[in-house]
Chains A and B, each alone.
Chain A
Amino acid sequence: MSTPPKQGEFYQRDRRWHPPALSQDYKTSVTRSPQLPLISLENTASEITGPVFGHNDIATADNDLLTNFAQPGESPIGERIIVHGRVLDENARPVPNTLVEIWQANASGRYRHKKDSYLGSLDANFGGCGRTLTDENGCYHFRTVKPGAYPWRNRVNDWRPAHIHVSVFGTGFAQRMITQLYFEGDPLIARCPIVNTIPDPEAVEMLIARLDMNATIPLDTIAYRFDIVLRGRRSTLFENRLEGN
């Protein structure tokens, strides 16, 4: 692998591609959205840098939700799936050795969380969280069960589409992000007020994992592909007066 050029600041985040802070139909956002504009900062060392994680921080089996909470010899109930993909930056370069964390409901749409009181059953063999580091090519993978849809108190009959929450670090604190992965073909996606906080339909498409038959293990586990893109960085073609690093 060739040495990448010395990199500078992160590209400006496109705030019209991301959801706005206030979206009326997602009711909780109404009182939790700042009313004053964000103050734009040029990157300093505080934003360019970010935490570094290594293989000592996590166990290799942490990415297998089929086994990481199950009793020995037991297995959670639900559709066995692989979720895999790559973490890239906006320059399409892989982001190696970065921490990806996921969490989700079980096949009934019930979370293992003391605040979730949904009627859907807990699964004694399913915890619902996993984590892994991307490899040198930015690739990651998890094994889990496909989560179920669940109701939530927004309007009285709102249901979240099946989704997996995804948290990614990147190399700088400015890349820190949390998002949600949805599944191809789910009819609840178009009806969801949280999905619809995103104004651009093409941006929504980026959150929909695709059925990936080529990564499926026959007679065992079906696969979905989900690539993640983090902010890219400028190459310092000219002096940009960023210092302190």
Chain B
Amino acid sequence: MRQKLGYLKETPSQTAGPYVHIGLAPGAAGFEIYDQELGRDIAGPNAKGERIRVEGVVTDGTGSPVKDVLLEAWQANADGIYAHPEHAGTVEDGFRGWGRVTTGFETGEWGFDTVKPGPVMGRNSQRMAPHISLWIVARGINVGLNTRIYFEDEGEANAADPVLNVIEWESRRQTLIAKHSAQNGKSVYRLDIRLQGEGETVFFDI
């Protein structure tokens, strides 16, 4: 008899559809139901580090903004520590490191307020440049898309980042680097995400 490996298969993905807000951001769908919606505050009031805003728009293959996207961010704190029991170290009280935002139905613009993450140790003791992991779902996206946001003003760290350097096409690395500007004294980083076509954002199979 042939031996069986006995692994289960992963449940297959399906699109989040046009009404993802109902389940994951009911306020955006137009009604209040929960005592607290999850994912509105990534860092919490006690977080150390530089307060920043990250924003952008997601466009499709025709260059049109995608107005029904939901994005989730996952990041380390300013010391490069994730709020997770498997990552050594502790984070500030209230620092979750995870957030969830939706795009405006009229504009497709999204944005979240957080703190700038510190560098995290990667594989083989190679330090990763500061980055935020991003997961994107929407109608028409069959499997959630994973990407990363890096920061324009971290040029030296970005040049040495082991993940950016996996991308053979150097010109494509730029699609992950958010542009910096100062608005009302606050650092704003903008990263427009192109799902398809010219300037297509790098997406990862993680």
Which residues in A have some Cβ–Cβ distance to B below 8 Å?
11-15, 17-21, 23, 26, 28-36, 38-53, 57-59, 62, 68-69, 88-92, 99, 101-104, 111-116, 127-129, 131, 165, 167, 171, 173-174, 176-180, 194-195, 197-198, 202-204, 206-207, 228-232, 241-245
Contacting residue for B9 out of A28, A45, A203, A245, CB 8 A: A203
**How many residues does chain B have at the interface if contact means C-beta atoms less than 8 Å apart?**
82
Question: What would 5 A/B residue contacts be, using CB atoms closer than 8 Å?
Answer: A36-B202, A45-B82, A92-B6, A165-B16, A244-B123
User: Smallest CB-CB separation from A32: which chain B residue?
Assistant: B140
The docked-state distance in angstroms from the alpha carbon of A177 to that of B141 is 12
- The answer, yes or no, to whether B49 is at the interface (CB within 8 Å) is no
Q: Are A90 and B8 in contact (CB under 8 A)?
A: yes
Contacting residue for A115 out of B13, B19, B82, B148, CB 8 A: B19
Q: Are A231 and B10 in contact (CB under 8 A)?
A: yes
Q: Are A62 and B139 in contact (CB under 8 A)?
A: no
Instruction: Collect the chain B residues with CB atoms within 8 Å of residue A245's CB.
Output: 86-88
User: Smallest CB-CB separation from B88: which chain A residue?
Assistant: A245
Interface core residue of A31, A91, A128 (most chain B CB under 10 Å) = A31
Contacting residue for A114 out of B29, B33, B61, B195, CB 8 A: B29
Q: How far is the CB of A47 from chain B (nearest CB, A)?
A: 5
Instruction: Collect the chain A residues with CB atoms within 8 Å of residue B97's CB.
Output: 51
Q: Are A35 and B196 in contact (CB under 8 A)?
A: yes
Instruction: Collect the chain B residues with CB atoms within 8 Å of residue A113's CB.
Output: 18-19, 21-22, 29-30
Q: Are A14 and B9 in contact (CB under 8 A)?
A: yes
Instruction: Collect the chain A residues with CB atoms within 8 Å of residue B21's CB.
Output: 113
Q: Which of B7-39 contact A (CB under 8 A)?
A: 7-24, 26, 29-31, 33-36, 38
In the complex, besides A20-B142, A40-B204, 15 extra interface pairs with C-beta distance below 8 angstroms are A15-B143, A21-B141, A29-B142, A30-B61, A35-B61, A36-B200, A44-B120, A45-B120, A45-B122, A92-B6, A103-B22, A127-B31, A165-B16, A177-B13, A228-B11
Q: Are A38 and B204 in contact (CB under 8 A)?
A: yes
Contact A38 to B205, CB < 8 A, known contacts A58-B34, A194-B15, A229-B10:
yes
